[in-house]
C-alpha cells in the first residue's frame, strides 16, 4: 500500500495554472513546496510524480527537481525528458507511460536507487484527477492533501483547474478533515507559517487535509 500526498496551490475556485505556468510567483510558497517535498531521513528520498505538462512547466535549470526521485508520466514512451546534451542529471528521473506502472515502480524498492520515504503527486490537473479517484482498496491511495489556498486575488484568468476534492469527498461520503496547524508542522517536520500569508499582494494559507 503506497500512500500518496497530493501537493497543490489553488485559488478558491481551484485555479492552478494559466498558459502552461503557475498564475503567480510566490517565492516563500515555492520554498515551502521545495522543503516539504525534499525533507526525508538520511539515506532515503521522496518521490515527486507529475504529468508531462507539469514537467514542461518547470524551468530547465530546476529539472529534474533536486534531491527527489522525479517520475514523469507521458503516454508517449519515446518522450525526450531532457535535452540530449544534458551531461548527467543531478537527480534520478523516470519516464512511465501510465500511472499504474509509475506506482508499481515506487512500490518495488529493488528497482530504486534509494528507499522512498514519501511520494508526492505534484500535478497537474489530469494527474490530480486520476490519483484522487483511486479507491481506498487499491495499491495506492491519496490520503493527504497539502493545499496552499490562495485567498486573494481571484486569478480569474486561470485556464487549468484541479478537481474540487472537498466537494467530491462530501458527495462520495468520504469527507476530508482539515488537520490542525500543529498536525501539519508535525507531519512536515519543520515550522510552517500559520494563518494568512502575504507575498506580492497575494494572500494565501498553508493547509493540510486528511482522509
Ligand atoms: N504545490 C505548491 N504548494 N506550490 C506550487 O507552486 C506547486 N507547484 C507545482 C506543484 N505543486 C505545488 C507544480 N509546478 C517548480 C516549478 C513549478 C512547479 C513545481 C516546482 C520548481 O521549479 N521548483 C524548484 C524550486 C524553484 C525555485 O526555488 O524557484 C524545486 O526545487 O522544488
pLDDT in tens, 95-136: 999 999 999 999 987 777 889 999 999 999 999 999 999 998
Q: What is the pTM of this model?
A: 0.97
Q: How many domains does the chain have?
A: 1
22 has catalytic annotation: yes
Q: 37: closest CA among 138, 134, 116?
A: 116
Dihedral sign of CA atoms 102, 107, 111, 117 in order: positive
42 has catalytic annotation: no
Centroid of chain to Cα 208: 13
ipTM of the complex: 0.99
- What Å distances lie between residue 126 and 53, 85, 98, 123, 139, CA to CA? 10, 30, 12, 7, 19
Q: Is 15 in the pocket of ligand 1 (CB under 6 A)?
A: no
Whose C-alpha lies nearest to ligand 1, atom 17? 58
Domain coverage including residue 25 = 2-210
pLDDT in tens, 153-174: 999 999 999 999 999 999 999 8
Domain with residue 112: its CATH number is 3.40.430.10
Amino acid at each position: 500500500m503506497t500512500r500518496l500526498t497530493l501537493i497543490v496551490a489553488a485559488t478558491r475556485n481551484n485555479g492552478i495554472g494559466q498558459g502552461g505556468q503557475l498564475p503567480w510567483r510566490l517565492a516563500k510558497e515555492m520554498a515551502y513546496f521545495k522543503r516539504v517535498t525534499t525533507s526525508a531521513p538520511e539515506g532515503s528520498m521522496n518521490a515527486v510524480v507529475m504529468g508531462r505538462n507539469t514537467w514542461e512547466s518547470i524551468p530547465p535549470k530546476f529539472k529534474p527537481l533536486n534531491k527527489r526521485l522525479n517520475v514523469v508520466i507521458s503516454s508517449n514512451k519515446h518522450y525526450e525528458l531532457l535535452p540530449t546534451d544534458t551531461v548527467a542529471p543531478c537527480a534520478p528521473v523516470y519516464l512511465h507511460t501510465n500511472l499504474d506502472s509509475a506506482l508499481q515502480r515506487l512500490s518495488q524498492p529493488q528497482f530504486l536507487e534509494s528507499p522512498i520515504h514519501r511520494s508526492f503527486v505534484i500535478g497537474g490537473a489530469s494527474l490530480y484527477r486520476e490519483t484522487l479517484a483511486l479507491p481506498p482498496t487499491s495499491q495506492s491511495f491519496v490520503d493527504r492533501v497539502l493545499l496552499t489556498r490562495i485567498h486573494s486575488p481571484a486569478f480569474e484568468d486561470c485556464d487549468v483547474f484541479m478537481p474540487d476534492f472537498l466537494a467530491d469527498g462530501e458527495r462520495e461520503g468520504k469527507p476530508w478533515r482539515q488537520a490542525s496547524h500543529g498536525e501539519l508542522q508535525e507531519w512536515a517536520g519543520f515550522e510552517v507559517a500559520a494563518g494568512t500569508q502575504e507575498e506580492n499582494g497575494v494572500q494565501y494559507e498553508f493547509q493540510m487535509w486528511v482522509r
